[in-house]
Structure 1
Amino acid sequence: MASEAEIILPIGTQKHDPAWKHCLMIRSGDRTKLKCMYCMKPFSGGGIHRIKEHLARHKGNASCCPRVPPEVQVAMQQSLEGAAVRKNKKVKLAEEANKVCSSSNQAEGGQADVGLQMIPLPEMLHDIPPLQVEVREEGMPKERGRKKRARYTSPPPPPPPFPTALEVGVPIKSYLGAPVDKDHVYMAIGRFLYEAGVPMDAVNSVYFQPMLDAIASAGPGYEMFSYHDFRGWILKRSIEEANNKLLRLKGMWSRTGCSILADEWTTETGKTLINFLVYCPEGTVLLKSVDASHIVTSADTLYELLKYVVEEVGAADVVQVITNNTENHVVAGKSLTETFPTLFWTPCASQCIDAMLEDIGKLEAISEIVENAKTVTGFIYNHAIVLNMMRKYTSGRDLIIPSNTRASMNFVALKSMACLKEDLSAMVSSEEWMECPYSKKPGGVAMTNLVGSLEFWSSCAAIVRITEPLVRVLKLVESNKRPAMGYISVAMHQVKQAIKMELVKISDYIPYWDIIDWRWDRQLPCPLHAAGFFLNPQFFYSIQGEVSNKVLSGMLDCIERLVPETKVQDKIQKELALYKSAAGDLGRKMAVRARHTSLPAEWWSTYGGGCPNLMRLAVRILSQTCSARGCDRIHIPFEQIHNQRMNYLEHQRLCDLIFVRYNLRLQQRQLLKTRPFDPISVDNIDTVDDWIVEKGELLSGADEDPNWMALNPPLASGVLSANSDDLEVEAFIAGLDDEVIRGAGQDAEDDDGIKEEDESHDGTSFTCNGGS
């Protein structure tokens, strides 16, 4: 994480090396340096090649990254090997050119030799004739010594003439060195994607560029696989890869433990499906999808389903099962823990927090401000001229940025608008806007009035301050980088304290606290959350071990449940004394510094050797997530596999296809570091539709002719990095002060006299002046 004096610089689109996707460019003072995204190690010299060696774990010029994902390590190794191969080819080609020069010199004299050496190498390659595609009639014998070529019934149409270097600057080079028309390549890809009905967001896949590289390396005329290949051996091999990934993760479950995630959702046709996933710090994998429409209505049948999945995974490796928090799930979870006394049932933290945000958004004073904000965005995003103008004044940034749920989108969008307040104010006060015909339309007038209202912006800022900690906790529990179990207890305490500091009066902040308590504390007690706090060295040593009875009791519950052997329990009890006194390696200066920099589970793995039994337990607890939410399910036909009217063999194939597709998407979620995002895209309609639809009473009129072709595309500066969520999480954790940690550890809300209402207060829970 960058320090306060460090500024993260944007990485331009001209940076084509794949290693740029896995590092940060930092400016500290007058110096610019690079940082690894995974271990945050800074590099002052060596450039992107040094970063690539670091990620590939090549010993020598750079240290090896201890946290690089295996997929990234392999990709960097392949990139380094590819660079070496290309370099060798260039050297070999230059040597061959020199041999040609020498032979020409011997045959025609020294003058010819001098003239040939003056010709640049690329110009020599331009003289190489293009490869001819062999066209053979069926039944004709193939000539010996010839390379097998693609068969065509007729030759492909010739590409359009290549533009010269003067026309396009520096052209792309083909594998033969000849210039390639980039637009011709893009159009060929586009025609295929459009005709096949491939979703437009497919080009955002991390696997799209490797596919293009593989095709380009094969050269023209390469015989593509067939429809039956695609459904046959290619899918079989992909299933093998997915199963091998599953086996590798299973090898980690015995060490770190795992969480079974029941990601439950309702389809458009009303079916209730549950995707069962297994989480560990090394990755998440889909096991199966179940049609639970008639199962979730009964606690008994739901229990039987959960029991079956636990037995399939292996109860000895399961630390917890996370599900929804309805009454049937609570009853089924309790029965599950009675059957398997070595694991916990916990409600999904993401669902709880999202429900809190939804409840807060329904408060009258807040819903009014959110609706006014939607008036502004709805008008802007429905008129190309206005949207182009807005992006011009915001330097390409959008008012609407990605969020995983509709409830959180309200407050994420509100914060984004508040950050761009000055830019929007400059736009509506500009002569360009005054002369724009849309400024006279009802929607334009309403937008101008709202953007110019100090009361509106003051309310927006107050709402953002109240809800931003809760939005950050939502990002924390869904983080792929940092398991949330060691932080969730303190994080929820921080949310309540932030609301209290903002609103001050008991009668103002109590409605928000009631929402949080009703959604969070009404669930069964969660000892894992308490133990996560107790075993996190950053928190435990900050309060010098003075924890409440609730936290200590939760820790003891975890010892008794997760460690069934009484002899091991007794050993852990003795080792707790070493932890409390920071004895041995736990008290080393390195260990003390690492309390605030290492992940808690990694800290225990490194310094907990002196208390091995407690270390194993700590790693298992601190390695767990708090959320059952998987990745997006768009364009994956889960409902289709639960259709009974299907050929049995084809049903098996479809199940395997979805298994491969979803697990690849889970891997992509860990690898994807940039997220091109267009708010008006249909791919994002599930979460943003309320913000990009113009209100009916403010429609500009039927005489308008909306034309998306007049719309300028979002600029590169508007493309968000997925790493920004990680940075927000890190900033949130860094902002947890000792007072908040003490309050969470000692279970203190500082709520004496909390039920005493201020009789002079009018009863509202939010005021437009921000509660000040």
Structure 2
Amino acid sequence: MASASEIILPIGTQKHDPAWKHCLMIRSGGRTKLKCMYCMKLFLGGGIHRIKEHLARHKGNASCCPKVPPEVQVAMQQSLDGAAVRKKKKLKLAEEVKKVNSSNNQAEGGQVDAALQMIPVPEILGDIAPVQVEVREEGMPKERGRKKRARYTSPPPPPPLPPLVTALEVGVPIKSGSGATMDRDQVYMAIGRFLYEAGVPLDAVNSVYFQPMLDAIASAGPGLEMFSYHDFRGWILKRSIEEVNNKLLRLKGLWGRTGCSILADEWTTETGKTLINFLVYCPEGTMFLKSVDASHIVTSVDTLYELLKHVVEEVGATNVVQVITNNAESHAIAGKRLTETFPTLFWTPCASRCMDAMLEDIGKLEAISEVIENAKTITGFIYNHAIVLNIMRKYTNGKDLIIPSDTRAAMNFIALKSMTSLKEELGAMVSSEEWMECPYSKKPGGIAMTNLIGSLEFWSSCAAIVRITEPIVRVLKLVDSSKRPAMGYIYVAMHQVKQAIKKELVKKRDYMTYWEIIDWRWDRQLPRPLHAAGFFLNPQFFYSIQGEVSNEVSSGMLDCIERLVPETKVQDKIQKELSLYKSAAGDLGRKMAVRARQTLLPAEWWSTYGGGCPNLMRLAVRILSQTCSARGCERIHIPFEQIHNQRMNYLEHERLCDLIFVRYNLRLQQRQLLKSKPFDPISIDNIDIVDDWIVEKSELLSGADEDPNWMILNPPLASGVLSENSDDVEVEAFIAGLDDEVIRGAGQDAEDDDDDIKEEDESRDDSTAAVRWQTEWQDGIIRNG
């Protein structure tokens, strides 16, 4: 109950509050304290009211008692509710008295005011004054020897709110509990001082949890007790871990039905370490499991295989449909060994990395690289001069030339598309009188920018590059989408990419350069049975083929049946049910089912209309519910490297691992919202992606005598930020653009028909282009894998 240094004091009969029956009054260290009888938590202040909130599990001023009996909790909550009602009535009565006094003062002037000053306080307030007495009696007992206060005392007037400058000078926080209302600027300044002094990344205010935090603090009202450093490292973190683990347990219950994908997101830190973040994907959400230092593993096939094997066993081999890793040769070999150990799953290379590598290779082609560098000349000058940036945003209605992207390679082509869409606005800017009078228009960088914006050849090249690369960018967004599992679309999407490039460039000698890049990056680890089966089982595509599918598609489907369904009896049942699917028999051919082929997600379609083919339906749902990408969400401000520091205390290392577990999973849960957060191209938070787009070229620097005053810069407008679902809109537009001709071409493997273009010197031009492409691209790219 109480330690040897604690003395239990008797609770007098004058203590009428029901909470006194459930706590102990203890004398320790010369101070009188209260202790909960159930969890033995010690309260240093707050009186019996704090104990009551503790027992009622009322969040706010006190922690919740984990061991309070239910009946005691209910009784304490009822007592709190009754006290709140009484307090509200008393405050209302006080307000009415105040209004009466104000009215009398206006009517009778100074005579009434002088008379009121002679009336004792109790006669004015009635039963309001005893509120002070009740709180004092229920609180902590007074020290002996102290003079007892008078029963009725008028509370002293609240001190005036100190001016903002004074608070800044003396470092005293502004307290709202004094009764004064803080204006919005004071609130913002208080938050700002906390962020600046604590070194919190300013990007933290973009968190989706920032506004809920402010709302929770505001709802608690004045007098909210400040949590301690150890609270956030202790019970708050512990409870957050429990919340995330509950989400993980809920998702685990779905893995048996939809299957799941293990994602090995490999990346390199600033210090050169190679880390692998392991995540588990299913349509209901992606969960982070752990981070592994793989600096000495990625080059060892045996060690990499053992690591992947351990993660599969941790997740459960029967739940896993595929393991997605990097595309490097060591990963491919380890993945093949993994499929031999676990014959019911696939290894698949990451589609996001493939798309990103394609864009990177295309960006290195000489003609395209030159256009990108010219575009960077424009943005580098604009984003390094506040006056010029203000003018640009004025003419673009707040829109920025640089918009968010997940990778550097994709940024090149997304920025080109953004600039092309604002070509008219940029032209209006450089031809305006405001720009002519701007001193920067005479600088070397300003002249170069003006000439480029006025060049029809530059804009024509930008538009052509955008048309060539936009299909790849859209596939990259498709495979990274958290709303639409990409497995049912990736096969036909890759066919659409090549056909779009062929349609744009027409001549084989022109488009084959891009096709070879795509084939080199995509076809290195053939076959991909899951991609082919995803196409076969997607009703939107399958029923548009109007004929037999290619051998690659049908073989991929059979591979998936044999590997994902180990029971031979079930395999035979699926073979029979395939004929029902091909002929759209039963519910599969209903008018509703036919209409839903274009509207429902493929896995949902099977769950709704596939009841007549139960075995095939289960297989289809497991395949069509998978992603094609191993990419997680942004890792900024998450101290992954710290958990691999060997000098750390063991207990603190475990705590930090749990902290990262919570932090990264919270981001994954809100990944879709995080993509639409406010974006400033020149922010240090985005430097890893946009650095070469917002840095002015050294040969065009405007001069060292210039003062780059950021304080005159107008911030980006909300209208210039991408909407929450902008990526989803592009993905849907891409899928809607998949016409029947493209689908039939993918399903019947017709992409290599070359009888449309015949040129006399085609072979010579192709060989010349191939040689030029090999010298520019293959040496560096193949060496880096």
1:716 Cα shift? Answer: 1.5
How big is the shift at 1:100? 8.0
Determine helix, strand or coil for the equivalent of 1:265. strand
Aligned counterparts, 1:590-605, within 5 A: 590-605=592-607
Query: In the alignment, which residue of structure 1 is the partner of 2:458?
Result: 456
CA deviation map 1:450-498 (0-9, x unaligned): 0000000000000000000000000000000000000001111000000
For 2:420 and 2:226, the matched residues in 1 are separated by 51
Q: Please point out which of 356, 359, 380 is paired with 1:357.
A: 359
The answer to whether 1:257 aligns with 2:227 is no
CA drift at 1:158: 2.7
Look up the equivalent residue of 2:554 and give its one-letter code.
Answer: L
CA 1:574–1:629 in structure 2 vs 1: closer, same or farther (change >3 Å)?
Answer: same
Counterpart residue number, 1:216: 218
Q: Which residue of 1 aligns with 2:518?
A: 516
String of CA shifts for 1:16-53, please: whole Å, max 9, x gaps: xxxxxxxxxxxxxxxxxxxxxxxxxxxxxxxxxxxxxx
Q: Which residue of structure 2 aligns with residue 613 of structure 1?
A: 615
Q: 2: CA distance between counterparts of 1:532 and 1:614? A: 13
Distance 1:385 1:204 in 2: 26
Pairwise CA distance, 1:752 = 2.9
Give the partner amino acid of 2:660.
I
With over 3 angstroms needed to count, the CA separation of the structure-2 counterparts of 1:221 and 1:362, relative to structure 1, is: same
The code of the aligned residue for 2:477 comes to K
Shift in CA distance, 704/614, structure 1 to aligned 2, threshold 3 Å = same
Q: Distance in 2 between matches of 1:526 and 1:695?
A: 44
Q: 1:391 is matched with which residue?
A: 393
Give structure 1 regions of 4+ aligned residues with deviation exceeding 6 angstroms: 92-105, 174-178, 753-756
Q: 1:696 pairs with 695, 698, 708, which one? A: 698
Query: Does 2:734 correspond to 1:713?
Result: no
Which residue, out of 273, 276, 279, partners 1:277? 279
Separation in 1, partners of 2:448, 2:162 = 52
Distance change (3 Å), C-alpha of 1:284 and 1:379: same
**CA contact under 8 A between 2:411 and 2:689: conserved in structure 1?**
yes
**2:263 aligns to what SS in structure 1?**
strand
Decide whether the 8 Å contact of 1:160 with 1:184 is kept in 2.
no
Change (3 A) 1:549 1:229: same
Pairs within 5 Å for 1:275-424? 275-424=277-426
Deviation at 1:204, TM superposition (A): 0.7
How far apart in 2 are the matches of 1:177 and 1:738? 69
DSSP-derived class of the 1:479 partner: coil
Q: Could you tell me which of 509, 525, 528 is aligned with 1:526? A: 528
Alignment of 1:239-258 (within 5 A): 239-258=241-260
Cα shift at 1:94: 12
Q: Secondary structure at the match of 1:263?
A: strand
Give how far 1:270 is off.
Answer: 1.3
Deviation at 1:224, TM superposition (A): 1.0
- Distance in 2 (alpha carbons) for counterparts of 1:104 and 1:208: 40
Q: CA deviation at 1:242?
A: 1.0
Change (3 A) 1:100 1:365: closer
TM-score by length of 1: 0.78
Shift in Å, 1:261: 0.2
Q: CA deviation at 1:637?
A: 0.8
Offset from partner CA, 1:692-712 (integer Å, 9 cap, x none): 000000000111110110100
Query: Judging changes above 3 Å, is the alpha-carbon distance between structure 1 residues 705 and 490 closer, same or farther for their aligned structure 2 residues?
Result: same
Count of aligned pairs between the two proteins:
636
Matches within 5 A, 1:66-85: none
2:202 pairs with one of 188, 200, 203:
200
Distance 1:736 1:101, change over 3 A: same
State the secondary structure of the residue aligned to 2:610. helix
**Aligned counterpart for 2:762 among listed residues 729, 741, 758:** 758
Q: Could you tell me how far 1:675 is from its partner in structure 2?
A: 1.8
Aligned to 2:270: 268
Q: Counterpart in 1 of 2:23?
A: none
Alpha carbons of structure 1 residues 759 and 578: separation in structure 2 relative to 1, 3 Å: closer
Q: Aligned partners of 1:392 and 1:334: how far apart in 2? A: 56
1:744 corresponding residue in structure 2: 746
Given the superposition, is the C-alpha separation of residues 369 and 94 from structure 1 closer, same or farther in structure 2, using an over 3 Å criterion?
farther
Take 1:284 and 1:244, find their aligned partners in 2: how far apart are those partners? 14
Name the aligned partner's letter for residue 241 of structure 1. Answer: E
Quote how far apart the aligned CAs of 1:604 are.
0.6
Q: Does 1:189 align with 2:196?
A: no
- Contact kept? 1:272, 1:292, Cα under 8 Å: yes
CA distance in 1, matches of 2:229, 2:94: 47
CA distance in 2, matches of 1:673, 1:350: 17
The 3 A distance-change label for structure 1 pair 509 and 159 is: farther
What's the offset of the Cα at 1:588? 1.0
Greater Cα shift, 666-675 or 384-393: 666-675
Q: Aligned equivalents of 1:161 and 1:409: distance in 2?
A: 43
Normalised by the length of structure 2, the TM-score is 0.77
Q: 1:315 to 1:665 in 2, by over 3 A?
A: same
Q: How big is each residue's C-alpha offset from its partner over 1:300-339, in whole Å with a ceiling of 9 and x where there is no partner?
A: 1111110110001000000000001111111101100000
For residues 657 and 159 of structure 2, the distance between their equivalents in structure 1, rounded to whole angstroms, comes to: 37
Aligned to 1:158: 161
**1-structure distance, mates of 2:450, 2:248:** 55
CA distance in 1, matches of 2:405, 2:626: 23
What letter corresponds to residue 202 of structure 2 in structure 1?
M
Of structures 1 and 2, the larger Rg is shown by 2
d(CA) in 2 for partners of 1:760 and 1:157?
88
C-alpha spacing 1:290/1:545, structure 2 compared with 1 (3 Å): farther
SS in 1 for 2:611: helix
Contact 2:495 2:742 in 1 (8 A): yes
| Separation of aligned partners in 2, 1:412 and 1:103 | 64
Q: Is the 8 A contact 1:489 1:533 kept in 2?
A: yes
Q: Deviations over 1:194-215 (max 9, x none)?
A: 1111111111111001100111
User: Which residue number in structure 1 is paired with residue 636 of structure 2?
Assistant: 634
Q: Partners of 2:675 and 2:361 in 1: how far apart?
A: 32
* Uncovered stretches (5+) of structure 2, i.e. residues with no partner: 1-83, 108-127, 147-157, 166-175, 773-785
> How far apart, CA to CA, are the structure 1 residues paired with 2:98 and 2:159?
38
Kindly state the Cα deviation for residue 545 of structure 1 after the two structures are TM-superposed: 5.3
Instruction: Give the aligned residue type for 1:291.
Output: D
| 1:681 equivalent in alignment to 2:683 | yes
Match of residue 173 from structure 2: none
Query: What SS does the corresponding residue of 1:447 show, helix, strand or coil?
Result: helix
User: How much has 1:719 moved relative to structure 2?
Assistant: 1.7
Contact kept? 1:262, 1:277, Cα under 8 Å = yes
Q: CA contact under 8 A between 1:175 and 1:216: conserved in structure 2?
A: no
Q: Does structure 2 conserve the Cα–Cα contact (< 8 Å) formed by 1:483 and 1:623? A: yes
Asked whether the equivalents of residues 205 and 668 of structure 1 are also in contact (C-alpha less than 8 Å), the reply is no
Whole-Å separation in 2 of the counterparts to 1:177 and 1:579: 71
1:725 lines up with 2:734 in the alignment? no
Aligned residue in 1 for 2:440: 438
1:758 offset after TM fit, Å? 2.2
> Is 1:674–1:721's contact at 8 Å kept on the other side of the alignment?
yes
Cα offset for 1:544? 3.2
Deviations 1:254-280 (A, max 9, x none): 010000000001111111110000000
Whether the aligned pair in 2 keeps the contact of 1:641 and 1:651 (CA below 8 Å) is: yes
Q: Aligned partners of 1:104 and 1:449: how far apart in 2?
A: 72
Q: Which residue of 2 aligns with 1:549?
A: 551
Unaligned runs of 5+ in 1: 1-88, 113-127, 144-154, 163-173, 767-772
User: Residue 40 of structure 1 aligns with which residue?
Assistant: none
Output the CA distance in 2 between the equivalents of 1:308 and 1:192.
Answer: 43
Q: Which residue of 1 aligns with 2:16?
A: none
C-alpha displacement of 1:584: 1.0
Measured against aligned partners, the alpha-carbon deviations of 1:127-154 in whole angstroms (never above 9, x if no partner) come to x99x99x99x9995699xxxxxxxxxxx
8 A contact 1:175–1:217 mirrored in 2 = no
Seen in structure 2, the aligned counterparts of structure 1 residues 452 and 550 have a Cα distance that, compared at 3 Å, is same
Alpha carbons 1:263, 1:275 under 8 Å: kept: yes
| Amino acid across the alignment from 1:619 | V
Alpha-carbon separation, structure 2, partners of 1:565 and 1:466: 46
